[in-house]
Amino acid sequence: MASTLKVATLNIWCKHGDWPARRDVLRAEFERLRPDLIALQETVVNDEYDQVRDLLGDEYHVIHQGRRAREGVGCSIAARWEPQDVHEVDHLVTDRVNPTDFVGRSTLAEFDTPVGRVLLAHHKPNWQIPYERERELQAVDAARAVERAVDGRPDLHVVLAGDFDARPETASIRFWTGRQSLGGLSVNYQDAWEFAHPGDPGHTFTIENPLIVAESDWSRIPPRRIDYLMVRCDDRGPTLRIRSCDRLLAQPVDGVHGSDHFGVVADLGG
């Protein structure tokens, strides 16, 4: 049987809401799924507390992004294997990007996995709704960093993951999925959800989730799909086969939603 890599991404919404109840739901779901690679956004890490370790225990190797916003909020990667190389890409692309806020940044981490060498590109651009120009510039910065990493290495698979805070029709996502170029660069990544569920909107940030309704500012916007797993393509398509893709924690457990986002989980094969 061919080897399979299970990858997940989820914005865990810091410790907001009823964190003890959410923590139980998150812990149980990750234990059930047992992903191999996990991209987590809005994790809290400081001198007193490591939210990723709280959720996952010591079973994973954990990489925390170096810059974190107020209260230690940032992004993290958890992996079954020790990283072979880690590189961070800063995205201070315009004067509107505030480095004390939850600023855009990407982490590129390489792992030796059963499907071969995989570079997990954990991308988190700016979240502000009017900041699509910043997200475009940040996407180009991250894509250039990936292209430098894969140059001369045709056997390196790239999985792109994260909360991109952009709908599929926006320029930054169109760039990632090969529908347009930006900044003189074109790339092509296969959106795993789109591949597995053509025509299904697959919203990941929606007022169907009562935690969004509780956040009165966010409840003003329509449902969106803003969380993604993608596989970089070579001349003939994605270098890893997308065997399945599902939303993560899209339903409550005993009335409790794990986060204000729904995540994404995919099985990828060689």
Neighbours of 151 (CB within 10 A): 9
pLDDT of residue 1: 46
According to CATH, the topology of domain 4-269 is Deoxyribonuclease I; Chain A (3.60.10)
Q: Residue 17's pLDDT is what?
A: 94
| Of 38, 17, 16, 42, residue with least CA distance to 29 | 38
Residues of the chain with pLDDT under 50: 1
Q: What is the pLDDT of residues 233-258, one digit of tens each?
A: 999 999 999 999 999 999 999 999 99
Segments making up each domain of the chain, as ranges: 4-269
What pTM was computed for the model? Answer: 0.96
- Which phi-psi region, left, alpha or beta, contains residue 105 (left: φ > 0; alpha: ψ -120 to 50)? beta
**H-run or E-run covering 21:** helix 19-33
Length of the chain, please? 270
Phi then psi for residue 84, to 5 deg, are -90, -25
Residue whose tokens read 């935690």:
211
Distance CA 249, CA 120 (A): 22
252: its two tokens: 């409550």
Residue 139, pLDDT score? 98
From 213, 228, 216, select the one nearest 170 (Cα to Cα).
228
